[in-house]
Amino acid sequence: MTAGIHPNVVVIMADNLGWGELGCYGGGALRGAPTPRIDAFAQDGILLQNFNVESDCVPTRSAFMTGRHPIRTGGLQSTSPNLPQGISPWEITLAQQFKNAGYATAMYGKWHLGDRAGRLPHDRGFDDWYGIPRTTDEVFFTDSIGFDPAVATVPTIMEGKAGEPAREGFPFYIKGELHAIKWRDWKLHFYWEPEVNQGHGKLESPYLFNLKIDPKEEHDIMTTNTWVAEPMLWMVHEFNESMTAFPNIAPGADGPPELARQI
């Protein structure tokens, strides 16, 4: 490799993917799911024939991220929310090593190596991350028989940047229209569309739901919790200021405004 050249490195890790499910390993169309693009990667690159993994997603990810046996890192097995879990803080991750080599780092998707402050991806070497802190099957919890949000954590998608706490919420736009705001355990709807394309226009009074006690969004509690609007609308204000400072790219544009002026 030429000195000073940093090749891009992209790693895609899939849970529960069997040996013979990809076309390049004899599966693909024979298993009912062709994988032509992955097969092309294998044809143009290196097809490995021996990959030894752990029995669970956490230790597999721990071993990959640290290069050490999971029994050395504390990442032994999947653990329920709010219980001690994740790789030990003193472990050095692959992302940290890449940053030390001058790379920009990011992670998208499932983490499952620590779900509290100090153990999230943006604390462990990633500049940016957007995804879930634990396992994907949690999305089914809220529809399970007997689920009680008063005693069980409602799963959420999180976002974080290195040096900053994980983001507490985000505005939700469709095209240029603000439809809803998510902040902590709260969600504010300016439009109500319980079924796709079944909306009835903008609400006269927004609906507010607490997702921890009402994950199915069935009970509007705006009149007794108007205080929530303040941090939510301030977040939108900051977002609008950022769009003024850094305008969105119009469809069909050749790039950022300053670049377009040079073309």
Amino acid at 202: K
- Cα separation, 114 vs 133, in Å, equals 7
DSSP label at residue 28: G
Task: Pull the structure tokens for residue 147.
Answer: 């689920």
The residues, ordered by sequence, that sit 6+ positions from 192 with a Cβ below 8 Å of its Cβ are: 199, 200, 203, 207
Residue 122 annotated to the active site: no
Q: Which of 24, 57, 69, 237 is catalytic?
A: 57
Q: Mapping DSSP to helix (H, G, I), strand (E, B) and coil, where does residue 3 land?
A: coil
Amino acid at 207: Y
Q: Which of 24, 112, 179, 200 is catalytic?
A: 112
Residue 57 annotated to the active site: yes
End-to-end Cα spacing for the chain: 34
Beta carbons of 82 and 96 less than 8 angstroms apart: no
Q: Mapping DSSP to helix (H, G, I), strand (E, B) and coil, where does residue 13 land?
A: coil
Alpha carbon 244 to its chain's center: 26
The strand pairing partners of 161, in sequence order, are 128
Residue 205 neighbours by CB distance under 10 Å: 9
Residues marked active site are found at 57, 112
